[in-house]
Structure 1
Amino acid sequence: MDILRFIEDIKAHLKLTFDNVDGWFQKDKKTLNHQPSNGGWTIQQILEHIYLTNFYLLILIEKGSKKAMKNSLDLDLESEIKNYSFNKENFDKVGEHGAFEWIRPEHMEPKGELSLDEIRSLINQQYLQCVHYLEVMKNGEGLLYKTTMTVNDLGKINVYEYIYFLSLHARRHITQMQQNESEMIKN
């Protein structure tokens, strides 16, 4: 496994995804507040949900990165890198809206308590946090700690995979926002 390439690929995915999410904050109020006919969330609610989900995932990512760095003092990083293979297919479904049933916890549901500017600022900070963790674990250390991810039965995933998951989750909702906008334009 070329771990440096893997980390760079995650950084590129994050940048592309977060740039795309940021573009949604530029939409007009009508687009942002369009209630889809299926009763789903508005784009503004989806943006808040992305922030909330990132918030909770980043708690786990922060803990994981600290434990991974601590583990790098005692574990054989070279062996871990050599034996690691990334199962991209398992993760790709996470980024597809509607690919599987996803029951989110109530604390990740939008409450409308934050302004659009606050959400945008917080999401931008979250992007920088992700990049920071990738910089801290720049030599492959993120492989040295795993946490269970129940979504789509991913099982135990390492810190890099958690960051990739966070990016895929946002990508999933970009599709949802595109669907909302398309429906609004048609009506």
Structure 2
Amino acid sequence: MDIFRLIQDIKKHLKLSFDEVDRWFEKDEKILNNLPVNGGWTIQQILEHIYLTNFYLLILIEKASKKAMRNTLELDLNSEIKNYSFDHDKFEEVGKYGAFDWIRPKHMEPKGSLDLSEIRNLLIQQYHQCSGYLDLMKNGEGLLYKTTMTVNELGKINVYEYIYFLSLHAQRHLTQMKNNELEMIKNKKNDFQKI
């Protein structure tokens, strides 16, 4: 396994995900606050949810990063790199909106206590935090510690995979936000045609 390639691929995915999420902050307020017909979250609520989920995932990623770096003193990094293979397929459903049921904890649900500029700034900080962990573990150290991920029965995943999961979670909600926007545009068009 080319661990350096994996790290670069995760960095690219992370940048793409966060850049796409950031573009939503430029949308019109009506689009951001439109309540979907199915009673789901508004785009602003989804953006807050992405931030909240990242917040809690990053607590685990920070702890795992520290443990992984400590494990370089005891474990054979070269052996771990040699024996590692990334199961890309195992993760792909995480990034697909509606691919499986996902029961999120209450503390990851949006409360409306943050304004858009705060959410945007916090997401930018979270992106830099993730990038910093990838830079810190640039030689494969992220393989040296695993944490259990119960979502979609992923099981024990290493620090790189956890960061990739975080990025995929944002991708999942990008689809949801696009769906919300399209629904609003379609409804406006139908209302206009009725006139």
Q: Using structure 1 for the length normalisation, give the TM-score.
A: 1.00
Q: Using structure 2 for the length normalisation, give the TM-score.
A: 0.96
3-state DSSP class of the match of 1:147?
strand
Residue matched to 2:193: none
Residue matched to 1:39: 39
Residue matched to 2:136: 136
3-state DSSP class of the match of 1:157?
strand
What is the alpha-carbon distance in structure 2 between the residues aligned to residue 151 and residue 72 of structure 1? 28
Residue matched to 1:13: 13
Q: CA deviation at 1:134?
A: 0.2
What is the alpha-carbon distance in structure 2 between the residues aligned to residue 171 and residue 45 of structure 1? 15
What amino acid does structure 1 have at the position aligned with 2:43?
I
What amino acid does structure 1 have at the position aligned with 2:42?
T
C-alpha distance after superposition, 1:122-152 (max 9, x if no partner):
0000000000000000000000000000000
Residue matched to 1:24: 24
Q: Greater CA radius of gyration, 1 or 2?
A: 2
How many residues matched? 187
What is the alpha-carbon distance in structure 2 between the residues aligned to residue 168 and residue 17 of structure 1? 8
Q: CA deviation at 1:73?
A: 1.2
Residue matched to 2:148: 148
Q: CA deviation at 1:13?
A: 0.1
Residue matched to 1:86: 86
Residue matched to 1:114: 114
3-state DSSP class of the match of 1:156?
strand
Q: CA deviation at 1:74?
A: 1.1
| Structure 1: 5+ residue stretches without partners | none
Q: CA deviation at 1:54?
A: 0.1
What amino acid does structure 2 have at the position aligned with 1:119?
I
What is the alpha-carbon distance in structure 2 between the residues aligned to residue 39 and residue 153 of structure 1? 28
What is the alpha-carbon distance in structure 2 between the residues aligned to residue 163 and residue 72 of structure 1? 19
Which contiguous aligned blocks of 4+ residues in structure 1 show a shift greater than 4 angstroms?
none
What is the alpha-carbon distance in structure 1 between the residues aligned to residue 184 and residue 90 of structure 2? 33
What is the alpha-carbon distance in structure 2 between the residues aligned to residue 185 and residue 164 of structure 1? 32
3-state DSSP class of the match of 2:147?
strand
Residue matched to 2:191: none
What is the alpha-carbon distance in structure 1 between the residues aligned to residue 56 and residue 88 of structure 2? 23
3-state DSSP class of the match of 1:25?
helix
C-alpha distance after superposition, 1:79-100 (max 9, x if no partner):
0000000111110000000000
What is the alpha-carbon distance in structure 2 between the residues aligned to residue 88 and residue 101 of structure 1? 20
Residue matched to 1:123: 123
RMSD, aligned α-carbons: 0.3
Q: CA deviation at 1:22?
A: 0.1
